[in-house]
Structure 1
Amino acid sequence: MLKNRTCSAMDGVLGGFSAHASNIVSTVSIATGHDPAQNFESSRSITRMEAVNDSKDLHISVTMPSIKVGTVGGGTQLSSQSACLNLLGAIGANREAPGSNARLLATIVAGSVLAGELSLMSATSAGQLVNSNMKYNRSSKDVT
Structure 2
Amino acid sequence: MLKNLVGSAVAGALGGFNAHAANIVFAIFIATRQDPAQNIESSHYITMMEAVNDGKDLHISVNMPSIEVGTVGGGTQLASQSSCLNLLGVKGASKESPRSNSRLLATIVAGSVLAGELSLMSAIAAGQLVKSHMKYNRSSKDVSKIAS
TM class by shorter-chain length? over 0.9
The alignment covers a number of residue pairs equal to 143
Amino acid at match of 1:37: A
Aligned ranges for residues 76-95 of structure 1 at < 5 Å?
A: 76-95=76-95
Query: In the alignment, is residue 24 of structure 1 matched against residue 24 of structure 2?
Result: yes
Runs of 4 or more consecutive aligned structure 1 residues displaced over 6 Å after TM superposition:
none
1:55 is matched with: 55
The residue correspondences of 1:127-138 to structure 2 (distance < 5 A) are: 127-138=127-138
RMSD (CA atoms): 1.3
1:64 corresponds to 2:64: yes
Alpha-carbon shift at residue 141 of structure 1 (Å): 4.0
- Tell me the distance in 2 between the aligned counterparts of 1:135 and 1:95: 50
Stretch of structure 1 that moved more, 86-95 or 4-13? 4-13
CA distance in 1, matches of 2:83, 2:10: 39
1:94-133 matches, cutoff 5 A:
94-133=94-133
**What residue ranges of structure 1 are gaps of 5+ in the alignment?**
none
Deviation at 1:80, TM superposition (A): 0.4
SS of the equivalent of 2:97 reads coil
- Measured after TM superposition, the shift of residue 10 of structure 1 is 2.0
Hey, what's the Cα distance between the residues in 2 that align with 1:5 and 1:34?
28
DSSP-derived class of the 1:48 partner: strand
In structure 2, distance between residues paired with 1:62 and 1:37? 21
Q: Which moved more, 1:49-58 or 1:8-17?
A: 8-17
**In percent, how many aligned pairs have the same letter?**
76
The higher radius of gyration belongs to 2
Normalising by structure 2, we get a TM-score of: 0.93
Could you tell me which runs of 5 or more consecutive residues in structure 2 were left unpaired when the two chains were aligned: 143-148
